[in-house]
Homo-oligomer: A and B are copies of this chain.
């Protein structure tokens, strides 16, 4: 279950929760390097959390989308986000 703790995994899955995305869509919306994003997407694919669809167009079009397994990570991500919002650094600064 260390998957979720890996840097960027939660944010990448969160991006995909709003629907299929191209590599550049994700890369442009997160301060992550292309190399690391590609590595994380491969890990997510190997774990059956993300599907990679290749469209034989010119230039080729590749889309990433969550599998059912991936979509059900939403409840986990929401519970982490709720906890982090309530108890996170932001909350600590208010005290």
A interface residues with partner B (beta carbon < 8 Å): 1-7, 9-10, 48, 69, 72-73, 75-76, 79-80, 82-84, 86-88, 92
Contacts and interface: CB of A to CB of B under 8 A. Distances in A.
Query: Would you call the interface of chain A mostly helix, strand, loop, or mixed?
Result: helix
Query: How many copies of this chain does the complex contain?
Result: 2
B84 A72 contact: no
Contacts of A5: 1-6, 9
Given A2-B7, A5-B4, A7-B2, A83 B87 contact: no
Contact of A4 (B72, B73, B80): B80
A1 B76 contact: no
Contact of A80 (B6, B7, B76, B92): B76
A92 B75 CA distance: 20
Nearest first, the 9 closest Cβ-Cβ pairs linking A and B are A5-B5, A79-B79, A69-B87, A76-B79, A75-B79, A2-B5, A76-B83, A1-B84, A76-B80
